[in-house]
Amino acid sequence: MKDINNLENKIVETEENMDPLLKSSKEVHPFSEEEEEDDEVLDLNKNQEEETILSHWPLLTALLILVVMLTLEFGFKFQLAFPLNLIIYAIAFLLAGYNVLGMAFRKARHFDFFNEFFLMSVATIGAFSIGSYSEGVAVMVFYSIGEWFQDAAVNKAKKSIKALLDIRPDQVTVLRNGSPVVVDPKKIVLDELIQVKSGEKVALDGILDSESAIFNTAALTGESKPDTKRKGEQVLAGMINLDKVSQIQVKSLFKDSKLSKILEMVQDATARKSQTQLFISRFAKIYTPIVFALALLVCFAPYFFVDTYNFQQWFYRALVFLVISCPCALVVSIPLGYFGGIGLASRNGILFKGSNFLDVMTKINTVIMDKTGTLTKGVFKVQEIVTGDIDQNELIRAASAIEINSTHPIAKAIVEYAADKAAGLKAENVEEISGHGLKGTVEGKVILAGNAKLLKKFNISYPAEIDALVDTIVVIAINDKYAGYITIADEIKEDAKQAIQQMHDLKIQTVMLSGDKQAVVDKVAKTLGIDEAFGDLLPEGKVEKVQGLKDAGNRIAFVGDGVNDAPVVALADAGIAMGGLGSDATIETADIVIQNDQPSKITTAIKIGKITSQIVWQNITIAMVVKVIVLILGAGGIANLWEAVIADVGVALLAILNAVRIQKMKL
């Protein structure tokens, strides 16, 4: 536990070091009710009202007024007289732009004038000042529609991520007044007794109150061999009960668990921006003041060079210049592209904790993986049956008949394998020889089933090569004579080989690190086609290997699931955790979580990162090219406000739709 506490301290230090980045990347959306000082995060626990078309009635009303007025003016050649037309357009303008105007005012109070909200407010109010009412309203309406699209897309991404997290256990059975009651884990208090059935995951940390129980601890220790706990020993959240119904006395509240911490971290995902987003934010802060200065030059500089200078004409051109120069197409569509990538990933069972990690995955050239729980299932299965002088069916029947009296997972693996072969067969006088195995009588024959030490104890000879086997084995003797052995091994995940092949197709080097014996590691690596494999590693050994590969210039993603993997997950360029059975410490430290534990999702995450990057750069290119062209045309008096609206807001809408399509893609 000392190592775990040290690791948790390291995680806290890492989070504190990240605070400046998180603080520097705060933003507020114009449709948000919060002040600009507030964080913009995914509040997944907050119950948000379902948005409907009717909830945006002010914007829809403004759009309807604009359409009616334009239809009268251009369709029927009928124009309302002043000041009636001004009043109607002003109402539409305020309905469409009250959020934008309010945000511009709040920023102006803090002397922040160089932002898209203030720029858009100046341009539209300026249009009203020279009588271009319809154009001023159109700019504000279409800009707000663009923001509406962004809101809808972001909310969809939030729901996808929340749905991904909601599949985690949310109830526990507690004993109250002697009766089992199913309650929310948050309602459990210290020292209460909870029940964990066979196959269930332990929800809270505590100590075992039952006499004994067997748990799958692979998620916490990285070891595939199940662990037998005795009364009074510690049981951690994340362990899986493999035995009978067990009782655990709770020693930590739900809010103090690592599972609760991961939910809090996910809420901050939107604050962790990609380098592209950070660059665009910095670019906009420099770009916007320059645009204001150029607009002033467009308006006033011609006075000194043009004999027929007309202030209203050049002021109009300056407004066109301001509208088209607004960086909303970039500021809106780029974050939305990354939201789309996060949403697509969540639909595929992958959680990115920030858009910056989408960019990181596009540069990965080496994937390092743990073995147990990552490439293998962490459960025992019969692999091979080797017999001496007896029939194979007779050996497995004898072994199953005696092993059925044990609750150990290795015994269960044999019984499950021989379910249809040993039906009705019973063992008598079964006794457990501690640390060795079982002894009993089956159909009048004395059966020994256990490790090699069991046969040595009874002076029974067996082939010497058995001692050199790397897999877990059960050696069988019948009537004091060696009969054969059964190998039991951790089963490789169905898609593990496919995952390695996919990585090789992407020209990515694959490496496996494990605490298991080198011989076991080599066998798995050969089966899967992994490039390099290292066994017999302690956690610090894994750190050394990862650091060595990083020092060689590789961009590394590390995939693991146990607490012993958390240090290397934190060290890698991209830390990936198996979230189904993975330890909370590793999930918390990781940048990316694969919720369904499938190794093939590693390449899915890489592909999503590349797709997102491609679409983001498409949007940047389209927006910049169109803006430069229309800026030149606007300054020359060729483009008017309507064309500026189409070029700016139209391009923004196209970019938004391009970004939204990420969530619709099938991989």
Give domain status of residue 260, yes or no.
yes
Angle at 63 between CA 61 and CA 67, to 5 degrees: 115
Sheet of 179-183, strands arranged across: 179-183, 172-176, 193-196, 246-250, 206-208, 234-235
User: Residue type for 229, please?
Assistant: K
| Residue 557: C-alpha distances to residues 368, 404, 546, 588, 608 (Å) | 6, 43, 10, 16, 15
Q: pLDDT higher for 32 or 292?
A: 292
Same domain? 361 vs 342:
no
308 contacts 629 by C-beta, under 8 angstroms: no
Is the pLDDT at 221 greater than 90? The verdict is no
Q: Tell me if 441 is assigned to some domain.
A: yes
- What CATH number did the domain enclosing 467 receive? 3.40.1110.10
Whether residue 342 sits in one domain with residue 356: no
Question: 313 and 217 in one domain?
Answer: no
Per-residue pLDDT at 152 exceeds 80 = no
Neighbours of 283 (CB within 10 A): 13
| Residue 153 is assigned to a structural domain of this protein | yes
Tell me, yes or no, if 256 is annotated catalytic: no
No. of helices (H) and no. of strands (E), the chain = 22, 22
- Give the model confidence (pLDDT) of 91-142 as tens digits: 999 998 888 888 888 888 888 777 777 777 887 888 788 777 887 788 788 7
**Model confidence pLDDT, tens digit, residues 280-339:** 566 667 777 887 788 888 888 888 888 888 888 888 888 877 777 766 666 666 777 787
Identified catalytic residue from 205, 209, 370, 490? 370
On whether both 73 and 153 belong to a single domain, the answer is yes
Taking 80 as the threshold, does the pLDDT of residue 610 lie above it?
Answer: yes
Which percentage of the chain shows pLDDT scores above 70?
77
Which residues form the domain of 479?
A: 378-491
Three-class DSSP category at 551: helix
pLDDT at res. 587: 66
- Indicate whether 660 belongs to any domain: yes
Query: What does the longest C-alpha to C-alpha distance in the chain come to?
Result: 120
Higher-pLDDT residue of 521 and 79 is 521
CA-based torsion, 346, 349, 353, 358: positive or negative: negative
- One domain, residues 243 and 324: no
- The arithmetic mean of pLDDT across residues 184-202, rounded, is 87
51 domain residue, yes or no: yes
Q: Report the mean per-residue pLDDT for the chain.
A: 77
Residue with the larger pLDDT of the pair 635 and 355: 355
**Per-residue pLDDT tens for 398-446?**
999 998 888 777 888 898 888 777 667 888 999 988 778 899 999 899 9
The reply to whether 271 and 258 lie within a common domain is no
Neighbouring CB atoms inside 10 A of 260's CB total 15
- Check if the beta carbon of residue 366 is closer than 8 Å to that of residue 284: no
pLDDT of residue 368: 94
Residue 358 lies in a domain: yes
A 10 A CB-CB count for 383 gives 16
* Assigned domain for 27 exists: yes
* pLDDT higher at 618 or 39: 618
Q: What is the pLDDT of residue 508?
A: 95
Overall average pLDDT of the 611-640 stretch: 81
Give the least confident one: 282-296, 342-356, 618-632: 282-296
275/244 same-domain check: no
Would 1 be classed as within a structural domain?
Answer: no
Q: What does the pLDDT read at residue 594?
A: 85
> Quick one: which of 277, 264, 267 has its CA closest to 338?
277
Contact criterion met (CB below 8 Å) for 567 and 541: no
CB 369 within 8 A of CB 565: no
Q: Which residue has the higher pLDDT, 586 or 214?
A: 214
Confidence grade of residue 583 (pLDDT, cut at 50, 70, 90)? low
- Looking at residue 47, its pLDDT comes to 41
Q: Are 254 and 323 found together in one domain?
A: no
357 and 465 part of one domain: no
Give me the pLDDT at residue 8, please: 38
CA dihedral 578, 579, 585, 591 (to 10 degrees): 70
Domain end point (choices 592, 608, 624): 608
Which one of 491, 526, 549 terminates a domain? Answer: 491
pLDDT band at 41 (very low <50, low <70, confident <90, very high): very low
pLDDT tens digits for range 260-275: 554 454 445 444 555 6
Specify the CATH number for the domain of residue 252.
2.70.150.10
Residue 117 and residue 231 share a domain: no
Total number of domains in the chain: 4
Band of residue 479 on the pLDDT scale cut at 50, 70, 90: very high
Residue 503 sits in a domain of what CATH number? 3.40.50.1000
Exposed / middle / buried, residue 273 (Cβ in 10 Å: 0-12, 13-18, 19+):
buried
Residues 505 and 475 in one domain: no
Please check the confidence at residue 46 and state whether its pLDDT lies above 70. Answer: no
- Domain limit, last residue, from 238, 265, 292: 265
pLDDT of residue 474: 92
Are 472 and 508 within one domain?
A: no
Give the mean model confidence (pLDDT) for residues 534-558.
Answer: 88
pLDDT > 50? residue 31? no
